[in-house]
Chains A and B, each alone.
Chain A
Amino acid sequence: AQRVTQPEKLLSVFKGAPVELKCNYSYSGSPELFWYVQYSRQRLQLLLRHISRESIKGFTADLNKGETSFHLKKPFAQEEDSAMYYCALSVVGYSSASKIIFGSGTRLSIRP
């Protein structure tokens, strides 16, 4: 079965420290992975997707098929990074359209 696992419910780091939010997935097909972010009192929004291979707000994520991981990283945390982060997997269904499965989320708290 398809599954997304985020082992950390809460991650607290100091401003300027490196950040790594872990994400592991289980999927037999070719995965399409995303990171979404939810700032306080706002709707979820896309942070980045693995196929674009770009850096957004200083965050990067590399798909490691061997380890089935898609960890989110930032070298220097900023206070405005405090938010809820969700890793998500897009699963191609029988009609070639996809359903999107989310992990349980990690709350990132940046201490001044």
Chain B
Amino acid sequence: NAGVTQTPKFQVLKTGQSMTLQCAQDMNHEYMSWYRQDPGMGLRLIHYSVGAGITDQGEVPNGYNVSRSTTEDFPLRLLSAAPSQTSVYFCASASRVTEAFFGQGTRLTVV
């Protein structure tokens, strides 16, 4: 049972580069979300989705795009990476009756 799978685990980008963080879940959860974890700031919601074709902004959406073409996948795109986006990113999924299940995280460094 894979649960929530995130790739890559680590990534170094140069300022201005773009990339996509992948997230996939195999639990048929309708809810998926992306958080960034920064020291002293906790987990801040970037974007979330309540089902295929539906996405919404969280607390810190600027500089990130998402799409939800299938129930299983919820990729996060960094359009033009900035040093302020250096962080650990977590993907999570949940259903209406379960708690959130998290991926292992992606440690991103922008230089």
Contacts and interface: CB of A to CB of B under 8 A. Distances in A.
User: What is the interface of chain A mostly: helix, strand, loop, or mixed?
Assistant: strand
Interface stretch (B10-18, B65-73, B75-83, B89-97): B89-97
B96 to A, nearest CB: 6
A104 B42 contact: yes
Given A100-B92, A102-B42, A102-B44, 20 more contacts: A6-B42, A34-B99, A34-B100, A36-B100, A43-B103, A43-B104, A44-B90, A44-B102, A46-B99, A97-B30, A98-B50, A99-B31, A99-B33, A99-B48, A99-B50, A99-B56, A100-B31, A100-B45, A101-B45, A105-B42
A86 B35 CA distance: 13
Interface residues of B, number: 27
A44 B31 CA distance: 17
Interface residues of A, number: 24
Nearest to B4: A43
Contacts of B40: 9, 104
